[in-house]
Each structure stands twice: as structure tokens, then as C-alpha cells.
């Protein structure tokens, strides 16, 4: 299966702070989750993608949060710079890749103003989370693409009809 995966989850240094969120090195993921992630990327065709970089933003960059999640959309950095068009272009580019490559499932970075699929930061730059989705997730879901985040590796593996190890020790690293 073709899967869109946030570049930062694959270890690419594309996050706003110039770092990554590599699942393989995440100390909050269990060994089983890391093993499943490796199986997912080895057994499927992976399309690495960062909507924010694709939308023209540099790495590193100022952190951004969604101020208005409804039209008219508004996304600002912590320096009050309007980056809405960059996020919208990145979302469109993600959808274009999904359509071109027949991608129907994505694994994206949680809490991100582009890729968050359950919670995002509340727009106050106070590190408070609120229910909501990032701009890329919004567009992908509206186009019937199933989105998971890095805390949903087991659910993604089940969705892909993969065998889930049951007799392994669930160590955290």
C-alpha cells in the first residue's frame, strides 16, 4: 500500500526547530510500536512529506499555530507573521501527491498545525492543546484519506491488516 508519512517521523530534520520526531528514537514509543513502524515502512511504499516545507517555509522556522480553523483560515507564527498561505499550499501539495500516487492512508505528526489529527495547539502559544486538526489533515480527511498519528501505530498496523505481536515485552526506550 502507498502511505504518506510526515518526514519528521522518518527522521528528517524538518520540524520548526530544525529537529525531527523520528519514531525509531522516540522514548515514549514501546519496542512493539517501533517494530511495527519499521514493518510498516518496509512492507509498504512510503512517501515522505512535510507540508510546511512543501508550502515554502524554511527549517528552522518560527513556531506557528492555527488562530482560525474555519474560513477565513488564519495561521500565525509566534512573531505574528501570517503563514496561512504556506500551510494551505502545503496541504494542497499533500493532497496532490495522494491523488497522483493513489495514497489512501497517512501517518502524520500529532499536535502539528499541519499534521495533527486529534489535538492541536490552541493558537495562544501557551502550549495548551485543544481538540482539532491541522490544515493538511483537514484537507486529506475531506478527501477520504485515513489519517493516523505516531501514537496510533498499532491502530495503523491493524488498518493495514498486519499481524500485531502479542507475546512480546512492551518495553519503553
Residue-wise pLDDT for 77-127, tens only, equals 999 999 999 999 999 999 999 999 999 999 999 999 999 999 999 999 999
Average pLDDT on 126-142 reads 98
Instruction: Give the list of residues 6+ apart from residue 114 with CB closer than 8 angstroms, or none.
Output: 51, 52, 87, 90, 91, 108, 134, 135, 136, 137
Beta bridge partners of 146: 105
Q: What's the pLDDT tens digit per position in 3-54? A: 999 999 999 999 999 999 999 888 888 888 999 999 999 999 999 999 999 9
Name the pTM for this structure.
0.93
At 41-63, the pLDDT tens digits run: 999 999 999 999 999 999 999 99
Amino acid at each position: 500500500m502507498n502511505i504518506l508519512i510526515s518526514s519528521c517521523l522518518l527522521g528528517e530534520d524538518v520540524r520548526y526547530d530544525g529537529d525531527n520526531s523520528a519514531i525509531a528514537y522516540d522514548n515514549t514509543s514501546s519496542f512493539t510500536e517501533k517494530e511495527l513502524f519499521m514493518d510498516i515502512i518496509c512492507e509498504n511504499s512510503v512517501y515522505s512529506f512535510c507540508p510546511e516545507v512543501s508550502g515554502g517555509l524554511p527549517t528552522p522556522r518560527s513556531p506557528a499555530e492555527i488562530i482560525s480553523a474555519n474560513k477565513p483560515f488564519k495561521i500565525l507564527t509566534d512573531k505574528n507573521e501570517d503563514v496561512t498561505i504556506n500551510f494551505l499550499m502545503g496541504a494542497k501539495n499533500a493532497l496532490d501527491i495522494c491523488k497522483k500516487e493513489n495514497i489512501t492512508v497517512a501517518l502524520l505528526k500529532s499536535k502539528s498545525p499541519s499534521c495533527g489529527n486529534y489535538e492541536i495547539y490552541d493558537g495562544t502559544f501557551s502550549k495548551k492543546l485543544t481538540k482539532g486538526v491541522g490544515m493538511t489533515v483537514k484537507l486529506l480527511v475531506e478527501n477520504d484519506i485515513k489519517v493516523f498519528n505516531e501514537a496510533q501505530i498499532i491502530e495503523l498496523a491493524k488498518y493495514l491488516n498486519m499481524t500485531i505481536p502479542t507475546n512480546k515485552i512492551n518495553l519503553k526506550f
